[in-house]
Amino acid sequence: MKSEAVKVGPDRAPHRSLFFATGICRESLERPLIGIASSFSDLVPGHIEMRNLERFIERGIEAAGGTPFVFGVPAICDGIAMGHEGMRFSLPSRDVIADGIEAVAQGHALDGIVFLTNCDKITPGMLMAAARLNIPAIFVTAGPMLAGHYQKRRLSFVRDTFEAAGRYHKGEITLEELHELEMEACPGAGSCQGLYTANTMACLTETMGMSLPFCGTAPAVLAEKKRIAYQSGMRIVELVRENITPRKIMTTSALRNAIVMDLALGGSTNTVLHLLALAKELENGAINLNTFDELSRKVPHLVMLRPAGDLFMEDLHFAGGIPAVLNTLGELIEDNPTVSGKSIREIQQSVRFIDREVIRSLDNPHSVEGGIAVLYGSLAPEGSVVKQSAVDPEMRVFKGKAVCFSSEEEAMQAITAGKIQKGSVIVIRYEGPKGGPGMREMLAPTSAIVGMGLSKDVALITDGRFSGGTRGPCIGHISPEAFEGGPIALIKDGDEILIDIPQRKIELLVDETELQKRKESFVPPPPRYTRGLLARYAKLARPTHQGASMA
């Protein structure tokens, strides 16, 4: 066992003494030492039930003959961080999480880890840590929130708070109604109810084989989630004894399966960043931005959850969960081992029920292409990303005149003040990995556009990124970013921009000679930060088409 480095032999008497100071006995020290990397927080709704799950994981570890040790991992709620300076810290926290777990696991020579996670950057940060450490690991995602309820209709976080704020600014609802919605939209523990980034990543973690079946969709408040936590605690001890490590599971096939699942579900565009960053940690050069577009042309969109549709994560769970989607995808999914001990094929074959009102069949998809499209062109030579499953068919080809802003705040002020004309392409730049820094999500302005009734009349492009809750013609991850002199930095108000999702094109319709003149006179703005995490991230972050990590 790896832990023998800190517990075996006369020279390790000091180390054993410190372990005994924690209250464990000598027999416990002879067992595999299992870390529980827990992102519990009173601040994050998706994490507030983790104290209970920690106990069930501990019970499972003890029952299987291991010794559990809980240690903490930071967590940021993207919804609370949204729309202000705090969002700059969200994406960089992914690297902080990976680094912190690596330090604790290596410093204490742990034999295995249970990753107890939820929400947007915590799950991908933990996956990066698992890939880097490559000691036996299993994931427990804490589960989605149940739907809210108000006057006989179901509510979800994004549509009934961020978009409702836009409706208030438009005068469609009163301030009192807005306050009633904000009270009821999030009824309790769990990650936000739709197929936003947190739940997408939970589903992809299960698809890759790093969590037990149904873990990705089981709601946070169900007893089923506790049973999964207990079983995961037992299974990690078996994984240690069998020496089944993450790199044996997170293969090229596993990553491709995750992309296929993302496309079939119509998941968040943030998964592009996270899976590319994970591939980097795995030293897997076979997965790149083009992989998403290659598969998107083959994989149909089968499930229409919020924000694109009206269904919730609980609907997907009770329709058969990820195993049912795997079964439906058939040979589009490649066989691969999983932490459960079953192969993907065995999980596919074990499915006994699929609700076809929620999970459509391959011959009756919502669309023949997957949920994400990658666009290239003169405006994004290194690529850009759009959640095409959440774009109205009328807006899949759009030509408009640019209205440029150098920050999210400037754009938000103009949108809510009613200053955006129909036929505009809103350009938000200097929000990329280096320029932001931190590549903030643009949920506030995109939701305001929907709430103001402009989702069929304007588009939004940015070198920043979007929340998984975004819908409408919103193109993000534009690379190269403005801070590094990418074409998005050269746009002027009134320039025509063409967005053609079916042809995978995004073009700045300006004469090349004129663009060259603008490029020669371009001067990047000074860095926003000169010290601390954001200064370090701005210096080290890779471009978006490489995952925007500091690795």
Residues with catalytic roles: 467
In degrees, rounded to 5, the angle at the alpha carbon of residue 270 between the alpha carbons of residues 267 and 272 is 85
CA dist., res. 195 & res. 203, Å (int):
9
Structure tokens at 410: 């400037």
Neighbours of 524 (CB within 10 A): 13
- Residue showing tokens 């005149």: 401
In 299-429, which ranges are E strands?
Answer: 372-377, 380-387, 397-405, 424-428
DSSP strand pairing (33-38 vs 112-117):
parallel
Question: 403-408 long-range CB contacts below 8 Å, 24 or more apart?
Answer: 403/427, 403/493, 404/429, 404/491, 404/492, 404/493, 405/429, 406/430, 406/525, 407/431, 408/83, 408/440, 408/442, 408/444, 408/445, 408/464
Q: Are strands 380-387 and 372-377 parallel, antiparallel or unpaired?
A: antiparallel
Tokens of 178: 């807005």
DSSP output for 404-437: EESSHHHHHHHHHTT-PPTTEEEEE-S-STTTTT
DSSP state of 327: H
Q: Long-range contacts made by residues 178-185, C-beta under 8 angstroms, separation at least 24? A: 180/150, 181/150, 181/155, 184/148, 184/149, 184/150, 184/155, 184/160, 185/148, 185/150, 185/155, 185/156, 185/157, 185/160, 185/161
**Cα–Cα dist 387/475, whole Å:** 8
537, 92 Cβ separation under 8 angstroms: yes
SS3 label, residue 144: strand
> Nearest to residue 128, comparing CAs of 246, 40, 245?
246
Amino acid identity of residue 251, one-letter, is T
